């Protein structure tokens, strides 16, 4: 599913104007995924984000056994590594067939 800015999750592949992402990629790849629920242990969720500027973010919130929120953020700073990293993300998503799931 595609959602706009401000939503809990969304995907955008391609910027519509033929722009070029860092590293010479023809399509912009920007993915933010969120899944969560309110259950016996409160609001639990998993969220990750891959951005074309090299920022990769991950958050996992669970109160099971009094766990705390885990947040990690990294930047892929070497221009040669970013396209390979984003290609691998695209491959994993394509292989998972998640984009083919009914909405």
Domains of the chain, by residue range, sit at 10-100
Mean pLDDT of all residues in 94-101: 74
Q: Which residue has the tokens 């040669």?
A: 80
Strands 55-61 and 70-75: antiparallel
User: What was the pLDDT predicted at 102?
Assistant: 65
Instruction: Give the model's pLDDT for residue 27.
Output: 61
Strand partners, 44: 37
Question: Greater confidence, 32 or 100?
Answer: 32
- Find the mean pLDDT for residues 69-88: 81
Residue 63 structure tokens: 């109160």
The CATH code for residues 10-100 is: 3.30.1560.10
More confidently predicted of 72 and 78: 72
The answer to whether residue 41 scores a pLDDT higher than 60 is yes
List pLDDT tens digits, range 6-22.
334 444 443 333 333 44
């Amino acid at each position: 599913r595609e959602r706009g800015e401000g939503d809990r999750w969304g995907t955008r592949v391609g910027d519509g104007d033929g722009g070029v992402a860092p590293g010479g990629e023809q399509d912009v790849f920007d993915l933010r995924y969120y899944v969560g629920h309110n259950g016996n242990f409160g609001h639990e969720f998993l969220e990750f984000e891959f951005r074309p500027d090299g920022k990769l973010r991950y958050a996992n919130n669970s109160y099971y056994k009094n766990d705390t929120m885990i947040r990690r953020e990294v930047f892929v700073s070497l221009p040669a590594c970013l396209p390979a990293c984003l290609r691998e993300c695209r491959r994993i998503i394509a292989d998972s067939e998640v984009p083919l799931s009914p909405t």
